[in-house]
Structure 1
Amino acid sequence: MAYPPPPPSSHPSPPPRPPSRRRPPWPLLVGAAAVALVVLGAGILWALGGADGSLRQVRGVVGSEKVPFFEDERVRSRLAELGYEVTVRPRGSRAIAEAIEEGEDFGSPGSTPSTEHFKEVNGIEEEYRPFSTPMVLLSYEPIAEALAEAGVAAQESDGTWSFDMQAYLDLTEERTRWRDLPGDSVSSNNRNELLIRTTDPRTSNSAAMHLVVLSYLLNDEEIVQGTSVDDDLAATLSRLFLAQGQPPDSSQQPFEHYRDLGPGHTPLVWAYEFQYIAAAVHGPALPEDAVLMYPSPTVFSTHTILPVTEAGSEIGRLLTEDEVLQTLAADYGFRTEDTERFEELVGEHALPVRRQVGDVVHEPAYRTVEALIGRIEQEYSDSGQPAPAADQQPGPGGPGGPLNDRRNP
């Protein structure tokens, strides 16, 4: 039997449901989040070091005076916290520009002319200036008092010592010997000529800084310009270096001789201020009668980080901007942009160090400095002096292999 169709409904039909949008199960969400975290973590580890969490290896060529800073365990630990292991090898600032090899990430000379040259040779513009230090003289109380009687040195009202570089040049012109100084504080047996002991000007930045001051005074208190060196100027400069005798074997040697061998061997040495502070605070201990003197005029040694790779750039940025590394640099005796920690250190250890250094001369252009050193270098050669010692000893871990990540291949 057939049934008739039902009558039409008086109520409209409900609208069709949209397609189902069921949420994925929680395990799937958790899994996706874990993958994202792994990818993000891998990216961070790659930036800071290796994908396995190892430290990213970075290598540099630095002035030998900075090797102890980079090898300091506190500095190494902080860099490790930031994901880096930095290995450095020493070289004289004059030679750093040409010393960069494949697999090395930055250079660190200690002067504006050397920085200028490095940038030109390696085709870079980027530079970081994490710290600086003025050039000073180190002597002993009896020597300082004898120099004061001779009108060359003076102790100021704040307890610090000044050293008149022009008065010193007057003594050298007269070929004064140490035994000729007034009083009996200097041994009458010291027949050596009264000269400031320096590093080797053919390789060392600190000796080049000494050259800057001498050339300024000998050029009627004008910064030497150009590459044509006056013969009289060249002769006087050469004598003041060659008359010191056998050049040092390394850039650290004159400071170590001063510290360890006493006034009979090294009565007066040209040094970086930070070397005195680092030794006074951290050792090895200086002589009890050690005296720090500020030359008038002096010159600032500005230490730069010049990157040739992205890794080198990051080290430069960290040394300049990281508060912990900046504090460690100040604790090591360097002057940073934030002077507070430096002043705290000086006050805490009652060091005879000036908060501010006046009477500072500027360095000539790189080519002028090279012309001056070139004339001295020729005199060394003509006098039969041996070739300069190269500061090429590797830092901790040795030079290692190439990193294959140079920015300028």
Structure 2
Amino acid sequence: MQVSGLVWSLTVVGVIGLIAFDFYFHVRRAHIPSLREAAAWSAGYVGVAVLFGLAVFVFGGPDVGAEFFAAWLTEKALSVDNLFVFLVLLGSFKVPRAEQQKVLLFGIVFSLIARTGFIFLGAALINSFAWIFYLFGLILLVTAGSLLKGDDSDDRSADNVIIRMARRFVRTSEEYDGDKLFTVRDGKRVLTPMLLVMIAIGGTDILFALDSIPAVFGLTQSVYLVFTATVFSLLGLRQLYFLLDGLLDRLIYLSYGLAAILAFIGVKLILHAMHENNVPFINGGDPIDVVEISTGASLIFIVGVLVITVVASLLSPKGRAQTYVAAARRHAKEFLDIETDPKYCDEIYHRLVIEEEHLRSLPERYRARIRQESELMDLLRRAHALHERRVDAGTCFSVASRPLV
């Protein structure tokens, strides 16, 4: 697919314009997006991606259109996996919810810059070395295996090497100062945790790019399609975070679905490498006559796996129990350690009460297991005790509730 310089320029200007619009009209003023706002903007970004894909289908042909949609869906699914890590990072750094939008937007912008570099590097490697498809395929197969085993790299935690270096060589504070990146403590200018969490999200996203870029090149070798699929998967990710929030923990089989998709694309890449083979010690450097997987078949497989994964997760009783437990734990921690705004504290406590009602609605075998989770039980007891003290002090409204324990 040949793309003119004018089209490239218009695309880049459009992306910058969307990011600027997002910042000046939504993120610059710290606030907590409502469910309606998050849903509307998430749907809007998905709609823009679909319209762009239809335009590619019309002007580039069915095969090119299928390549874009397959790449976009894969990147979108992988970006949802990113949200799990973002959730851990934001919780670990105790980022106030009203300030989370700015952190997420920074992560998206950093990701776009880093992934654009990886995309052009990947394209250069593909053009220079046909054997690179073998390497990309192996990377995806290894990544799929790690997803099946449930391995979590320390580099993706809230205490990764980038953060440890920042804490070691730069003065940092333990408290936030609104959404400021720097503050003054004891007469000295120091970093706030806001900048540290931005560094953490940016650093971990580099690791995600190492997984996702080879996957997209396994579906299309067009640099323009890889770039636009990546852009449209990341734009709207901030709104999707607030929209999915409590549903993220419900997708208990997402890692298995992503593992299947990455393994499928890995096999597709290796088959393509064999078909284009020029490695001297493989078949004497001659191409190998193997069956290649078409783009249409790839698109059908990706859509099918995602549908099965999501439906199975939503229908699973285990997933429902896990969702309620994770939401109750998260709301209790927010109420106890993170939020200081009395108005939002009331909202958080109300959500906690709702999640406890959900827990009480579970079958007895799940409730018995939950009562054995001492950490969760302690969090809930402390949250109820703190709420009672705040009600007595007049800083919180009374909310009718009965402790789970």
Q: TM-score scaled by structure 2?
A: 0.21
Name the larger-Rg structure: 1
The structure where helix makes up a greater share of residues is 2
| Higher RCO (CA 8 Å, separation ≥ 6 residues) | 1
Query: Which has more strand, going by share of residues?
Result: 1
